Structure 1
Amino acid sequence: MSRLPRLTDVFILALAGCAASALAQDDPALRVSGYYKNLLLRSETWTGERYELDLNRLRLELKGKLSPAMSFNVQYDNEALIGSYLRTAQFQQQKDLPSSQYWSAQGSYVDRPALYGVHRLYRAQFQLAFGDTDLRLGRQRIAWGTGRFWSPLDLLNPVSPTTLEREERPGVDAVLLEHRFGPVARVAAVYAPSRLAGEDSHALQWHDHARGIDFSVTAGRFHGDRVIGLDLAGQIGLAGVRAEMTRVRPRNGEAFNRTLFGIDYAFANTLTLSAEFYRDGSGAGSPVAYNFSALASGSRQTLAQRYLGVRAGYALTPLVKLSTDVVLNLADHSRYVAPGISYSIQTNLDLSFGLQWFSGATGSEYARLPSVAYVTLQQFF
Structure 2
Amino acid sequence: MRAAAVLLLCIVFAVPCPAADDFNFATRQIVNFSDYPKAFERAGLLPGNEYALQSLTRVIHHRRSDRYRIKIELELTSLYSTSEQQNAISAGWQVAGSRSGFKAFKTDSKHSYTDRWRSSSQLERCEIAFSAGELDIQLGRQPVSFGTSHFVPVLDVLAPFNPGYLDSTYKPGVDALRIRKTAGTTGEMELIAAAARDSEDSAMIGRYRDTFSGFDVEALAGRFRQRNFVGIGWEGERRRINVWGEAALFERNSSDGRHFGGFSDDLAGSWSVGFEKSIAKHWRAGIACLHQDFGARKVGDLTQAYASTPFRQGWMQLAASDYLVVSSNREIGPLSSVNINAMINLVDNSTLWQPVWKISTSDESDISFFAWFNTGRSPALRPTGLELRSEFGAFASGIGMLYSHFY
1:58-73 alignment, distance < 5 Å: 58-65=57-64, 67-73=65-71
- Residue 307 of structure 1 corresponds to 323
Secondary structure of the 2:392 match is coil
CA distance 1:139–1:10, shift in 2 (3 Å): closer
Conserved 8 A contact 2:26-2:406: yes
Q: Does 1:367 align with 2:393?
A: yes
Amino acid aligned to 1:202: M
Output the CA distance in 2 between the equivalents of 1:277 and 1:149.
10
CA distance 1:166–1:303, shift in 2 (3 Å): farther
- Residue 218 of structure 1 corresponds to 220
Secondary structure of the 2:318 match is coil
1:11 aligns with one of 5, 8, 18: 5
CA distance 1:69–1:264, shift in 2 (3 Å): farther
- Residue 357 of structure 1 corresponds to 373
Conserved 8 A contact 1:160-1:302: no
Conserved 8 A contact 1:264-1:272: yes
| Shift of residue 118, structure 1, vs aligned partner | 0.6
1:38 aligns with one of 29, 41, 45: 29
Output the CA distance in 2 between the equivalents of 1:219 and 1:99.
20
Output the CA distance in 2 between the equivalents of 1:280 and 1:104.
32
Secondary structure of the 2:87 match is helix
Structure 1 gap segments, 5+ residues each = 1-6
Conserved 8 A contact 2:274-2:286: yes
- Residue 51 of structure 1 corresponds to 50
Output the CA distance in 1 between the equivalents of 2:212 and 2:143.
26
- Residue 306 of structure 2 corresponds to 292
Secondary structure of the 2:394 match is coil
Output the CA distance in 2 between the equivalents of 1:297 and 1:154.
13
Structure 2 gap segments, 5+ residues each = 91-98, 255-264, 379-388
Output the CA distance in 2 between the equivalents of 1:226 and 1:304.
22
2:75 aligns with one of 71, 74, 77: 77
Output the CA distance in 2 between the equivalents of 1:241 and 1:299.
24
- Residue 259 of structure 2 corresponds to none
Question: Deviations 1:184-223 (Å, cap 9, x if unpaired)?
Answer: 2111111112233532211212222222222222111121
1:101-140 alignment, distance < 5 Å: 101-113=103-115, 115-140=117-142
Output the CA distance in 2 between the equivalents of 1:52 and 1:225.
40
Question: Deviations 1:93-150 (Å, cap 9, x if unpaired)?
Answer: 9xxxx97332221111122345311111222211121243111111222222114122
Conserved 8 A contact 1:72-1:127: yes
Output the CA distance in 2 between the equivalents of 1:279 and 1:92.
30
| Shift of residue 14, structure 1, vs aligned partner | 5.5
1:237-316 alignment, distance < 5 Å: 237-252=239-254, 254-266=266-278, 269-290=281-302, 291-293=305-307, 298=314, 300-316=316-332
| Shift of residue 165, structure 1, vs aligned partner | 4.5
Amino acid aligned to 1:136: Q
CA distance 1:269–1:33, shift in 2 (3 Å): farther
RMSD between superposed Cα atoms in Å: 2.8
| Shift of residue 55, structure 1, vs aligned partner | 1.0
Conserved 8 A contact 1:147-1:260: no
Conserved 8 A contact 1:324-1:340: yes
| Shift of residue 88, structure 1, vs aligned partner | 1.5
What's the TM-score once normalised by structure 2's chain length? 0.81
1:319 aligns with one of 335, 354, 377: 335
CA distance 1:167–1:288, shift in 2 (3 Å): farther
Q: Does 1:328 align with 2:344?
A: yes
Name which of structure 1's ranges 209-218 and 296-305 shifts more when overlaid on structure 2. Answer: 296-305
Output the CA distance in 1 between the equivalents of 2:375 and 2:25.
36
| Shift of residue 170, structure 1, vs aligned partner | 1.8
Name which of structure 1's ranges 289-298 and 8-17 shifts more when overlaid on structure 2. Answer: 8-17
Conserved 8 A contact 1:139-1:173: yes
